[in-house]
A and B are shown apart, each in its own frame.
Chain A
Amino acid sequence: MTARDAIVVPTSEEPPELALTTPISNPGQRRSRASTTRAFLGKPATIVFLIVLAAIVTVSFIGPYLVGNPVTTSHPILHAPDLEFLMGTDALGRDYLARVVNGGRISLFVGFSVAFLCMTIGLVIGGLAGYYGGFLDAGLVKVAEFFQVLPGLVLALVAAALLGSNVWIIVAILALTMWPAVARIARAEAMRIAQLGYVESAKAAGFRGLRIIWSDVIPNALPPVLVATSMTVGRAILIESGLAYLGIGDANNPSWGALLNTAQGFMQTGWWLAVFPGALIFLTVLAVNILGDSLNDALNPTVGRVK
């Protein structure tokens, strides 16, 4: 299916004008939901990675109830993967499958909650700055720049040292340093939308700025912001893994990165300890980024055509 096929296929109940009024060159106009979905699912790679990500997420959140206890130590130690222990056991004789599944829960929780926080903060700050402009905009951009230049990794190390390495603190620190990327996109969109007719129309209807931001600016700014947010998921998982690898993480709930940290000492004797969490981090981040790209192409048809 070419990009053009995916754009407009009017169905019988829609007026024929649809084909004429959904031009790819008109930024004020959207594709219908159905055709966006079709464009998103149009590529085989998207479907494959959607299934991969769905599988990882499902297993990580339901899995802990299916696999054994991740802290039971009554198994043989450093047992290579076989049919009984699909991912082997670690140096203390714990079922590694159970630990990897639980680690996924932590890693994904960090990734998605950081992304959610970034999107929320980004939409609020970016929406206000872009819509109102002027001094508010200048001030908020300075604040965003301040947080953007903070070295996230170092800040997280310091915060963990001072406050303890609870998973919530990690999430908070990551969101604090990563929201400006989303806010910038939201601000640019809000600036564009603030000039559009329907915002003027809303002003003409006597609505206040905050109301206009909520019902006109944010819904229309969402597509590019969602794309930016989807990229945040992957980055947050990677940074969390990096932190955990350095030993900053919740010791009671080891994430994939924390498992890698432990696996360091057993590279010669237990390759599976590093390979499984490593491969899962790789697959998850890859899937999230590819889906983000597809989402971008589906929502901004012009981008896909230029390539």
Chain B
Amino acid sequence: MDDVTEGRAILDVRDLQVFLPTGARTEIEAVSSVSLHVADGERVGIVGESGSGKSVTGRAIAGLLPTSPRVRVNGSVRVAGIEMVGAGRAAQEKVRGKTVGMIFQDPLTFLNPTMKIGRQVAESIPRSRGGDRQAEVQRFLAQAGLEDAAALARRFPHELSGGMRQRVLIAIAIAKLPELIIADEPTTALDATVQQRVLQTLDDAVRTLGTSLILISHDLAVVAQMTDRVYVMYRGRVVESGTTADVLRAPRHPYTQALLTSVRSLTDDGVPLYSIPPSLRRSLDEELTHAS
């Protein structure tokens, strides 16, 4: 599944395999032989239902899986040419600190409640950059679509609304001027109107910085709006990939077709709610078992 892209690849994942412990002796193969490719400045979506392994893939790329000897990662993850799998802690911290920015789902728990907003953004700016940090902080907050950045920097997270907090997370992610931003369900915790504005902000920020983006989401509409290419994951595998337009217009894999059918629209009055039928799940699972 080698997508041919010209230019340097910011991310190259080959045959990624992640085992997570589920009990004292049992484990689950959360991700199996996933290969992904993100070119410089490209926007890539990963879609799939809950438990499809999309978040685990995102975390594995950032080296954020739990540090337990029972969490096993095989394959190769190269971020800006640096191999992350099996790399030492220092190397991983360097990549996380400079190259990859993460935006997480729940804006409430991902901000430290005892630290002012300004300092949380400032912490993300590498020390080596120099310059006026206060001005930088305000610039990034403004870039994340937050008004009155100076006053905001002196506030604590609980004084902000959910949408504002998510913007702060975006500011934190872009403050290190990363080459790749991984956004894991960035708008799932927000209501629909706020979601649109936050996506717009993310879109602007990524465009201004020329950053590559991986958008992990179960929401096909969000992925359609934000990305150039998409990977569809099911049961820890990539079942389909291609340009977002192609995949959404003419899905080839039965799972993608089922996923698209289950999308509801406001004009769907009277159309029965579609959910993926158990028979399709059985046939998909059989197919995957044979494939491996």
Interface residues in chain A, defined as those with a beta carbon under 8 Å from any beta carbon in chain B: 14-15, 17-18, 21-22, 26, 28-30, 32, 196-198, 200-208, 215-216, 219-220, 222
Contacts and interface: CB of A to CB of B under 8 A. Distances in A.
A204 B162 contact: no
A21 B161 contact: yes
Given A206-B93, A206-B94, A201 B159 contact: no
Given A28-B109, A29-B108, A200-B64, A22 B93 contact: no
Given A15-B164, A201-B104, A219-B115, 15 more contacts: A15-B159, A17-B160, A21-B108, A30-B114, A30-B158, A197-B106, A200-B104, A200-B110, A201-B110, A203-B96, A205-B123, A206-B93, A207-B93, A219-B112, A222-B114
Contacts of B93: 206-208
Contacts of B64: 200, 203-204
A29 B94 CA distance: 30
A30 B108 CA distance: 11
Interface of B: 62, 64, 93-98, 100-102, 104, 106, 108-115, 123-124, 156, 158-162, 164, 169, 172, 176
Contacts of A196: 109
A201 B172 contact: yes
Nearest to A28: B109
Secondary structure at the B interface, as helix, strand, loop or mixed, is mixed
Contact of B159 (A28, A32, A204): A32
Contacts of A22: 158
Contact of B158 (A18, A206, A216): A18
A18 B123 contact: no
16 contacts: A21-B158, A21-B161, A197-B108, A197-B110, A200-B64, A201-B110, A201-B111, A201-B172, A203-B64, A203-B96, A204-B96, A204-B104, A205-B96, A205-B176, A207-B97, A219-B112
Contacts of B172: 201, 205
Contacts of B102: 201, 204
7 smallest CB-CB distances across A and B, nearest first, come from A206-B97, A197-B109, A197-B110, A206-B96, A204-B102, A219-B114, A17-B161
Given A201-B104, A205-B123, A220 B114 contact: yes
Contacts of A207: 93, 97, 123
A15 B112 CA distance: 19
Contacts of B98: 206
Nearest to A216: B112
Given A28-B113, A30-B114, A219-B115, A17 B104 contact: no
Contacts of A18: 158-159
B132 to A, nearest CB: 20
Contacts of A15: 159-161, 164
A224 B106 CA distance: 25
A296 to B, nearest CB: 18
A13 B169 CA distance: 23
